[in-house]
Structure 1
Amino acid sequence: MEANFLPTADFAKQLDQEDPLSRFREEFYLKPGMIYMDGNSLGLLSRRAEKTLLESLEDWKQYGIDGWTKGNHPWFFMAEQLGEKLAPLVGASAEEVIVTGSTTVNLHQLVSTFYKPEGKRTKILADELTFPSDIYALQSQLKIHGYDPNTHLVRVKSRDGRFIEEDDMIDAMNDEIALIVLPTVLYRSGQIIDMKRLTKEAHKRGILIGFDGCHSVGSVPHFFSKWEVDFAFWCNYKYVNGGPGGVGGIFVNRKHFGKMPGLAGWFSSNKDKQFDMEHTLTPAHSAGAFQIGTPHILSMAPLIGSLEMITEAGIQNIREKSLKITQYLMDVIDHELAGMSFFIGTPREDARRGGHVGLEHREAARICKSLKENGIIPDFRAPNIIRLAPVALYTSYTEVWEVVQTLKKIIIEKQYEKYKNEREIIA
């Protein structure tokens, strides 16, 4: 608990008055009477993202096919330009980042490129708490190579069902492992993985390593180049606020430039050669080589405005508020919900906590439905987690205070009892 914490609404208002990022709140479309705590699944629409999307629609309207080279935001280099804007968020050079594809497609691309089973090294190392889509992709890639995922996908066990210990991951890095794919932040508990340490240990053993940054990019600063991470991939619709199903991102360390992409396509090309229409691919000498098909322009366009705003706010400032407001959330929970069977299943230490808090309760699914009835949008994850994400750019401390007061009311009045304790279609 913060030393100066006070369990009052006035204290929350004071924190809002002192918040240097509070001005960005007015940039977002916030629905009156609703508190949005699900930015770790889908970030809200900002006015700047809307503006740049509309500008790209206007480019299409005015220029047709000439929009590739003309207009407010010409399309031909949009993926590279957005990569340059994203690079500071992940600690990379502009050439090492490209905006392309979706999370799982990008993972397939990277595994097909970097998974090269040879001799004893035929297995892929992951963890048992990672997001299911990553596991599906890794299983699929192993099958393509003729291996049984039951024996060749090694999943590090969790000791408590919440966290993964780095020591256990390192112990699993034996001479049968060809590739490692891990999350930057665990999607249930919000634990940050020690990427720097794990990368160093993997490389000491001659193993390539990559990370899924879906639950951290835009909320947590990264230093992929400095840490010598081989590759990373992520979505841009959570903390980067790029829109539902928005285009993802790829980082490829420059030491791998020149490597032929496992899944090649027209936009893998060197830009100068692309329209030569040759049947021999000359890949871009950058992360751009790992694009496949034509960029999804209208899904990338909102990122122009969103990244402009994030750059203006500063990723370090965003992280500072994220840590402060998640700590405040946990402090209020500790004080207000004591004795109500809630458990905070998220690391308390700043260095180990991402941008959301996993609040556990045996009636979690029912409580989430009650929260929605009370105008609060949470996120449920089976079997018993209420994920709450106070996003630095648009969540206020006052809202956090109100969310916990509502949780208290739901339990005291047993509002949740009217619902079944099972998830909705979209949890």
Structure 2
Amino acid sequence: MFDSTKECAEKLDAQDELVVFREEFYLKQDAIYMDGNSLGLLSKPAETTLMEVITDWKEQGIDGWTQGKHPWFSLSEKLGEMMAPLVGGFPEEVIVTGSTTVNLHQLVSTFYEPSGTRTKILADELTFPSDIYALQSQLRTRGYDPDEHLVRVKSRDGRFLEEEDIIEAMTDEIALIVLPTVLYRSGQILDMERLTAEAHKRGIIIGFDGCHSIGAIPHHFSDWGVDFAYWCNYKHLNGGPGAVGGLYVNKKHFGTLPGLAGWFSSKKEKQFDMDHTLTPAHTAGAYQIGTPHVLSLAPLIGSLELFNEAGIERIRTKSLRINQYLMDLLDAELKEYAFTLGSPTDDKRRGGHVSLEHKEAARICKALKKEGIIPDFRAQNIIRLAPVALYTSYSEVWEVVQTLKKIMSEKLYEQFKNEREVVA
């Protein structure tokens, strides 16, 4: 029988082998942070490496590009090497560059090659809106009508996608597939290995948006044969607001010219030859565009040091346990308040957050914030709660559920309007 007492939560904390990493983060005083799937908290190592890069700038000036503790000229490649174990790629297949949408534009520009009947891009109706905006834009620049040439797989229930439906949509009209690794609302993990294999059987290039999975679950992009992927680094990887993004390109595609070439697409040894003919890097570095934002790269050095010390498998193990604990508590304490679990219950299908659905979700989130709990609201009716393996305790999860129970039993949410803030 499930034990919903505070003593059980404290016992689980005592058994937590990742508890030492909690001390490495700046936790909000008098608050419990459950929004690490939107913006991860600052870690002390990330602060340290940011200040080290600022010191290099202060003391080295322009020589910081090649000297100092973290030479800037090769920093994107260094971070790609550090990030490779988190995505299951070879070091040369990963680069830290651009932003999520810029990297998507680059990868679609590179790998979308409409020909004959294959002119359409396959996506899904539950994906993050910015991906759709970018895909529509890419189609328009090629002279195609997005209403006709962007195919969006339907969800059967508004929460989840079925791999069978995606595979059925892989017709001979599809030139490129772009899908999320994890759905941002429900937290469902798609079967990337299966979808990649099915796409390749049909001769279709496939890529994934890893924004809601990198740093929360293990990936095996190279083993699965994924063609490309892209992601942000400010959520689970705690790189800071606006952190530089990342991308992966399978080495079988090395030598494919970048669709959007730029200064940093160049082979490092040739970059300052100042030749008007680009010699692209023979790595994922070829798909960089402009100069990296060094001060936004800097915190990732310290953050990735923490991740590599903890190990993504241990992170995933705790994430599954603490999210299951959260779901069990919600079931035990909140049955009478008309909440619906909007996340998969199967460990293999659930990412790093839990989604609760309620018709009063927006005002419940406001009430939680007033009580010192930082959740995340997603339209129209979703409360996302993200216990983060490296810094959330089981006792905090217990407090969150007790606070939510108080809000519902005393109807504290009724003092707020049931509408989102400008930034949800």
Q: CA deviation at 1:55?
A: 0.3
The letter of the residue matching 1:423 is R
Deviations 1:23-48 (A, max 9, x none): 10010001221000000000000000
Question: Which of 15, 30, 34 is the aligned partner of 2:27?
Answer: 30
CA distance in 1, matches of 2:251, 2:29: 46
CA distance in 2, matches of 1:224, 1:423: 36
Question: Which of 248, 251, 269 is the aligned partner of 2:248?
Answer: 251
The letter of the residue matching 2:28 is K
CA distance in 1, matches of 2:255, 2:114: 20
Question: Which of 102, 105, 122 is the aligned partner of 1:108?
Answer: 105
Structure 1 ranges of 4+ moved more than 3 A: none
Q: CA deviation at 1:72?
A: 1.1
Q: Does 1:70 align with 2:67?
A: yes
CA distance in 1, matches of 2:73, 2:335: 56
The equivalent residue for 1:39 is 36
The equivalent residue for 2:388 is 391
Q: Does 1:19 align with 2:16?
A: yes
CA distance in 1, matches of 2:29, 2:276: 56
The equivalent residue for 2:297 is 300
Q: Tell me, what secondary structure is at the counterpart of 1:211?
A: strand
Q: How does 1:408-423 map to 2 (within 5 A)?
A: 408-423=405-420
Q: CA deviation at 1:359?
A: 0.5
The equivalent residue for 1:286 is 283
Q: TM-score w.r.t. structure 1 length?
A: 0.99
Q: Tell me, what secondary structure is at the counterpart of 2:281?
A: coil
Deviations 1:278-332 (A, max 9, x none): 0000000000000000011000000000000000000000000000000000000
The equivalent residue for 1:177 is 174
Q: Does 1:143 align with 2:165?
A: no
Deviations 1:124-158 (A, max 9, x none): 00000000000000000000000000010000000
Question: Which of 66, 89, 101 is the aligned partner of 1:92?
Answer: 89
The letter of the residue matching 1:166 is E
Q: Tell me, what secondary structure is at the counterpart of 1:79?
A: helix
The equivalent residue for 2:151 is 154
The letter of the residue matching 1:314 is G
CA distance in 2, matches of 1:148, 1:329: 45
The equivalent residue for 2:217 is 220
CA distance in 1, matches of 2:218, 2:345: 18
CA distance in 1, matches of 2:16, 2:115: 54
Q: Tell me, what secondary structure is at the counterpart of 2:331?
A: helix
Unaligned runs of 5+ in 2: none
The equivalent residue for 1:263 is 260
Question: Which of 7, 10, 14 is the aligned partner of 2:7?
Answer: 10
CA distance in 1, matches of 2:228, 2:29: 41
Q: What count of residue pairs does the alignment treat as equivalent?
A: 424
CA distance in 2, matches of 1:415, 1:178: 51
Q: Tell me, what secondary structure is at the counterpart of 1:44?
A: coil
Q: % of aligned pairs identical? A: 74
The letter of the residue matching 1:131 is F
Q: Tell me, what secondary structure is at the counterpart of 1:125?
A: strand
CA distance in 1, matches of 2:203, 2:272: 38
Unaligned runs of 5+ in 1: none
Q: CA deviation at 1:274?
A: 0.3
CA distance in 2, matches of 1:22, 1:279: 53
Deviations 1:322-374 (A, max 9, x none): 00000000000000001110111100000000000000000000000000000
The letter of the residue matching 1:133 is S
CA distance in 2, matches of 1:191, 1:74: 39
Q: Tell me, what secondary structure is at the counterpart of 1:56?
A: helix
CA distance in 1, matches of 2:367, 2:235: 24
| RMSD of aligned residue pairs (Cα, Å) | 0.5
CA distance in 1, matches of 2:177, 2:3: 44
The equivalent residue for 2:353 is 356
Deviations 1:352-399 (A, max 9, x none): 000000000000000000000000000000000000000000000000
CA distance in 2, matches of 1:287, 1:70: 23
The equivalent residue for 1:52 is 49
The equivalent residue for 1:375 is 372
Q: TM-score w.r.t. structure 2 length?
A: 1.00
CA distance in 1, matches of 2:203, 2:394: 46
